Structure 1
């Protein structure tokens, strides 16, 4: 069985999130998703997600394409998560291109194109207007 791992915040779940998870699953048989905790998201973006980490986890768990979900508590632990979940492939969006190449000794690293014209940040800006 080929195990795939990916990471994200998945706030305001939208079609871009669904598409990248579907395409991630196409790289293997078993999809493991790390959900950024509220604290990690705040440390990265200096703002809290709209939905709590528990709600975001429930949404991702409900997807038939996802086999396992966990909370990602630190960006520095990605290598440990890859080992812990015995991932064969790490999949990330191409906005992270090259940033995770250091894990190529642990697993295959794949960068997938993002869905054009869809981002949580843009959706929040539209809602604000």
Structure 2
């Protein structure tokens, strides 16, 4: 039985995450997923919108996933591979070459990212919307203040 292992933050779960898990699962009979903990994300300089417990529950609910565990640091992949007897480590192509040293204990596969979707892009869109809303509110407040000043109410 071929065991596949992958990792991710899986914040703002989207179709790219689903496709990665489906493609990883297709490489074997069992798929285990390390979901980055909130503390580990903080060390990486990432700020997750969804807390770890909820992200892990979402990933665990995917039918292709056989087990989920927290990813706490960069170095645990080797011990996870050994503990789970993983045959294949799957990572996104944005990590190409970063885990090649693990080819000595399992096969490392880098899968292409789903085009036109990423959590980073989704977060940027939210930030843009928030900035636009702030500018709009500032303009409304300025207009209200000007009206109050014109009418000697302020």
For the aligned pair, the TM-score class normalised by the smaller chain equals: over 0.9
CA distance in structure 2 between the aligned counterparts of 1:106 and 1:80, rounded to whole angstroms: 10
Structure 1 residues without counterparts, runs of 5 or longer: none
CA distance in structure 1 between the aligned counterparts of 2:46 and 2:65, rounded to whole angstroms: 27
CA distance in structure 2 between the aligned counterparts of 1:7 and 1:47, rounded to whole angstroms: 15
- State the 1:95 CA deviation: 0.5
TM-score by structure 2 length? 0.81
- Residue 118 of structure 2 corresponds to which residue in structure 1? 119
- Residue 76 of structure 1 corresponds to which residue in structure 2? 75
TM-score by structure 1 length? 0.97
Name the Cα RMSD after superposition. 0.7
- State the 1:47 CA deviation: 3.5
Instruction: Look up the SS of the partner of 2:75 in the other structure.
Output: helix
- State the 1:48 CA deviation: 2.3
- Residue 12 of structure 1 corresponds to which residue in structure 2? 12
Counterparts in 2 of 1:78-117, with a 5 A limit? 78-117=77-116
Structure 2 residues without counterparts, runs of 5 or longer: 129-154
- Residue 52 of structure 1 corresponds to which residue in structure 2? 51
CA distance in structure 1 between the aligned counterparts of 2:49 and 2:12, rounded to whole angstroms: 7
Residue deviations 1:43-67, cap 9 Å, x none? 11x2420000000001001110101
Higher helix share: 2
Instruction: Look up the SS of the partner of 2:17 in the other structure.
Output: helix
- Which structure would you say has the larger RCO, counting Cα contacts within 8 Å and 6 or more residues apart? 1
Runs of 4+ in 1 over 4 A off after TM superposition: none
- Residue 36 of structure 2 corresponds to which residue in structure 1? 36
CA distance in structure 1 between the aligned counterparts of 2:57 and 2:8, rounded to whole angstroms: 14
CA distance in structure 1 between the aligned counterparts of 2:110 and 2:46, rounded to whole angstroms: 26
CA distance in structure 1 between the aligned counterparts of 2:110 and 2:20, rounded to whole angstroms: 10
CA distance in structure 1 between the aligned counterparts of 2:124 and 2:47, rounded to whole angstroms: 15
Instruction: Look up the SS of the partner of 1:78 in the other structure.
Output: helix
- State the 1:128 CA deviation: 1.8
CA distance in structure 1 between the aligned counterparts of 2:46 and 2:117, rounded to whole angstroms: 20
